[in-house]
Amino acid sequence: MPSALGSGFAGSVRLKYVKLGYQYLVNHFLTLLLVPVMAATALELARLGPGELLALWRALDLDLVHILCSAFLVVFVATVYFMSRPRPVFLVDYCCYKPSPSFRVPFTTFMEHIKLISNNDKSLRFQTRILERSGLGEETCLPPANHYIPPNPSMEASRAEAQLVIFNAIDDLVRRTGLKPKDIDILVVNCSLFSPTPSLSAMIINKYKLRSNIRSFNLSGMGCSAGLISIDLARDMLQ
């Protein structure tokens, strides 16, 4: 059984690198095709002397029409190449929501809440190990619903939390960049767990009166990995 698992893992790794190699080949096919030709041409021109180059030029006996057609072909190929390349996308500015100090939950407070909710020693030890190894600090904040004993999660509290985080981040970003909401033509919203109806993207569009033809995408309930998916989606839309 271990050997079968090992061979399957090795096969998946090899398949992954084959896919990456194929993707690189497709994305840079024209470059890989032109580089050897240009290198061979440069080596041949370097081998010939000035006199041989001049004699070769005179032997071509090209008229103006041939020269213009050749120049047009070169310009056309170069234009197609540069237009087909994916355009780079840059992150110009960003804003993160900074919660109020009243949302701060030190380790002692968190563990005290856990003890009041559950007296399971095994669970307490597990939570202690998580706090020690997770990278969380004494300034870590939790939403208001988690400050109750016991916690009071609800649809209203979740929507209020989403509005608090999203609206404050957007307000800071608009104020910092001087961007008008009407200038936004693409909106990608990602939330790992909360997926209400109407969606979070609809909530933002109604709040800031965004343009009617905006392209909006709402990614919810896909876990933490959806953050990378949303960034990739935004890049594809901008390209």
Q: Is 204 left (phi over 0), alpha (psi -120 to 50) or beta?
A: alpha
> How far apart are the C-alpha atoms of 163 and 206, rounded to whole Å?
12
Helix axes 29-47, 2-27, angle to 10 degrees: 60
Residues of the chain with CATH 3.40.47.10: 91-103+152-239
> How far apart are the C-alpha atoms of 107 and 110, rounded to whole Å?
5
Residuewise pLDDT in 10s, the chain (239 residues): 444 444 555 556 577 777 777 777 777 777 777 788 788 877 877 777 777 767 766 666 666 667 778 788 888 888 877 777 777 888 888 899 999 898 999 888 888 888 887 777 888 888 888 888 888 888 889 898 888 888 888 899 999 999 999 999 999 999 998 889 889 999 999 988 888 888 999 999 999 999 989 999 999 888 877 888 888 888 888 87
pLDDT of residue 4: 47
pTM here? 0.64
pLDDT of residue 148: 85
Q: CB under 8 Å to 83, separation ≥6 — which residues?
A: none
Domain at 91-103+152-239, CATH class: alpha beta
